[in-house]
Structure formats: structure tokens, C-alpha cells
Amino acid sequence: MADYYDILGVSRSASQDEIKRAYRKKARTLHPDVAGPDKADEFKEVTAAYEVLSNDEKRRLYDMGGESALRNGGAGAAGFGGAFQDIFDTFFGGSTAARGPVPRGRRGQDALVPVEIELKDAVFGVETDITIETAVRCGTCNGTCSREGSAPTTCSACGGSGSVRKVTNSFLGQVMSTTSCGVCQGHGTVITDPCLDCAGEGRVRAQQTLNVNIPAGIDDGMRIRMSGKGEVGPAGGPQGDLFIEVHVADHPEFTRQGDDLVCELEIPMTAAALGTTMNIESFDGPEEITIEPGTSGGVSLRVRGKGVGRLHRSDRGDLVINVHVITPTKLSGREKELLKELAEIRGENAPEAKLVSENSSMFSRFRERFK
């Protein structure tokens, strides 16, 4: 099932009033009596979502672990029973009973922070500190929203219930409806002497430094979730989650292909013909490479286990070295003489043009790599 917040079209930090308005709007258009039986399943989804999000305890459990947390917490599956009052309210203009005051403390918003790392950090993993600006609990009032020595007072309009009742006339006669108190916004209390540092919000903006463990094998654009490291909610409510979006900087010599590191190696024509050994500088330090005699351009050499670390595993990909044979373009007189002499020895001083099919050429390259 889709996320309950997505079903109602509200954010995870939405207030109870916002959740109720969103439910009423959807219920009016999806109710089977209005939209027909085809919308019955969608109407049940919306009602089930509202049944959970309109209940503070169920919402808290759902925010911690989704539907499984609801089942484990004894909340059970959402149904129509608890939402009947709001269905009645949607079509007849009011609910039948009060729900009690709404807590001020709400879950804070999730935050997204981009972090750039080097390719080497993606190969081996890295721990790094990041500094972000976020909402933290007010140190002066400790999230109570009130100035030191004072406390919220009971709302005189609703008597602390968070809701007020009124009688309206309908085609059914007089209906007693209950609505959220407009004076205290449904909280049941009023902040009469707010904290000066947070202006009665219970939280302030501040810079915070966090240590982030970036695992080996992470790729560009991936995100790391840090639960409970997002913004503190209003009135010192629980923190949301922090998402670290990782961007891997380009490297001048190595590129990444899956779990492999790929680089390009240029060797002179003579080294390709005679064979040689040479060192290249990899992320693991100097790596000795053997060029077999008769190596042709386009051959790829593979060094096992010297590539990128694989996510949540202990092994690594490979280091792939694409070999390019450089043919000299400027020759001295002596060099030309030597090459002509070599061509005569090999019978290549007057070579005949010989066309080969693309398939044959490809087969030849694969055969050479296999060797």
C-alpha cells in the first residue's frame, strides 16, 4: 500500500487540521454515493489513511515503522469505525464528538543535504563531518514554548478541550457538531508568555556538525538516511530524518563502470612488440603491469580485486586497463632506415591490402584478450 501521507496528499509534518481538510476534500469526491462503486477501493484507502493519521498514537507508531509498527503496537488495521465521525462531518457539516486537545509537539521535517566526495572515497568508503543549518530544540525553554517561570494557560474558549460545539440546522433537524477551537488552534492551551529566543516556537535555527559514514561502493546520486537527524518539530517535537545525497567528483585518470575502475594506458610501438613491465599508480599504490610481446591496441588488462568496493560486501571489483599502442609520426633518418630494414626482414616492405570482415576482426580481438 502507498504511503498514508501520499494517499491524503499532505506532508509528514501536517497538522491535524490539515489532515482533516485533506480527508474531507477527498472523501467528498471519492465517496461511492457520489463517485460510484468504481471508487470504493480508493475511498477505503483514503479512509484507512485518515483513521491512522488522525489518531496521535497510531500516527506516532506509523511514523516510526509504517504499517508493521502499527500491527506490532496493537493498533491493528485501519477501518471505518474511527473515521465515521468525519464522514458524517463531511456530508452534514460537523462531527459528532470531540477528539480532545491536539499536542503542540509534532514531528520535524526531513532534510536533504548534498555532499561531494572523491572517487577514491567511493572506492574505500570514508567518514566525514558535515555542517548543516537546521531546526534544533530551543535551549532556553527546552521546547516548552513559554518563557522561563511561566507555562501555557488553559484556553478560556474551549475550557482546555481543544474543540467547541455548536448546533446547526440540517434536513435531519438540529445537529450538534464539534469543531477545532479557533482560539487555541485545537491545543487546549494558549501560550500567554512566549519564550523570547524562539518566539514561542520551541525550536530555533542553528548550525550542527554531524559525522557521516559513507560506505565503500556508494555511487553518484545515492542517498544515505540518518534516522532522527532531521529538523526538530514545533514545540520540541521529535526530529525528522536527514538524507545525505552523495555526489562523486570526476577523476582525471580513472572512471567507474559498475564496480570496476577503468583507466587508459598508452605504450610505445616497440614496447607492444617486444613486451615489457611497467608500474602504474592505482588507488592502492604502484601496480606492476606486464605487457606481453605482440600486444595490439585495444587489448584490456584486468587486475582482480583492485576496483570499487561493493556495497555491503567485503570484496571489490576489478581494475581494467585499456592499452593503446602509439605509432610514431615523426621519424629521424636513422629510425626510418631501421624500420625499413625490419619491414624487409619481415617481408612487409610491399604489403598487400587484405580486407577482413568486421566479425572476423572482432573475433580476433576477443581471442587475443582470452589469451
Pairing status of strand 319-326 against strand 260-268: parallel
Burial per residue of 42-51, b for 16 or more beta-carbon CB atoms within 10 angstroms, e otherwise: ebebbbbbbb
Closest C-alpha to 216, from 317, 105, 86: 317
What does each C-alpha distance from 103 to 100, 188, 234 come to in angstroms? 9, 9, 10
Residue 145 assigned to a binding site: no
216, three cell numbers: 565503500
Q: Are residues 141 and 135 in contact, defined by beta-carbon separation less than 8 angstroms?
A: no
Residue 263 assigned to a binding site: no
- Give the bridge partners for 95, in sequence order: 178
CA distance 294 to 271: 9
369, three cell numbers: 584478450
- Give the bridge partners for 115, in sequence order: 246
Q: What is the length of the chain? A: 371
Residue 141 assigned to a binding site: yes
Q: Are residues 222 and 168 in contact, defined by beta-carbon separation less than 8 angstroms?
A: no
| Sheet containing strand 319-326, strands side by side | 255-257, 260-268, 319-326, 300-303
At 287 the three-state DSSP class reads strand
The beta strand positions in the chain, using DSSP E, are 111-117, 126-137, 153-154, 163-170, 173-180, 189-190, 203-214, 223-226, 242-248, 255-257, 260-268, 276-282, 285-291, 300-303, 319-326
Pairing status of strand 111-117 against strand 173-180: unpaired
CA distance 41 to 7: 12
CA distance 190 to 119: 54
Tell me the binding residues: 138, 141, 155, 158, 181, 184, 195, 198
Tell me the binding residues for Zn(2+): 138, 141, 155, 158, 181, 184, 195, 198
